[in-house]
Amino acid sequence: MNNEDLKYEEEITKSKMIAITVISVIVVLCIIILSLFFSIKKASKNISKKNYYFIDVNNDNREKIISLIKDVNGKYCESIYKIDYHKNFSSGVSYHVYCKDEKDLYFGNDNDYKDILNNYIYENGEIEVK
């Protein structure tokens, strides 16, 4: 082998090493991008979930809950069997009144710090993540 053949072999070896390096970098970048994508996707699902506080309405607490709904100027129905609320982004509370015989009712209260209805549900009810 002469010098030209050695230089040619060295160039081929260098080219192969560069190609392997470039392919390795591309594969690593793809893996990083995919892992970031799935991490952000999972985090966005968790961020969009809200805590809903609810209480089942029964004969023991029916009168108390209806009087608290009246105190916050809310809507209620005689066939109420459940009520839940969630806190809004900035302030306030949104309520959902579940009715057996009528259409469900919704109302809100902007003064959640003065709201004794949500305090009652929070203390006596349960939490559900939706």
CA distances from 53 to 63, 96, 112, 121, 123 (A): 19, 10, 14, 7, 9
Residue with the bigger pLDDT between 118 and 62: it is 62
Indicate if the pLDDT at residue 114 is higher than 80. no
54: CB partners within 8 A, 6+ apart: 82, 83, 84, 85, 121, 125, 126, 127, 128
Segment 83-98, tens digit of pLDDT: 999 888 777 888 999 9
State how far the Cα of 130 lies from the Cα of 95, in Å rounded to an integer: 14
Residue 74 confidence (pLDDT) above 60:
yes
Place of tokens 């209806």: 66
Whole-angstrom distance, CA of residue 114 vs CA of residue 117:
9
pLDDT tens-digit map of 25-71? 999 999 999 999 998 888 777 777 788 999 999 999 999 999 999 88
Please tell me the distance from the alpha carbon of residue 52 to that of residue 73, in angstroms, as a whole number.
Answer: 20
Beta pairing partners, 52: 128
- pLDDT above 70: percentage of residues in the chain: 96
Cα–Cα distance for residue pair 88/75, rounded to 1 Å:
18
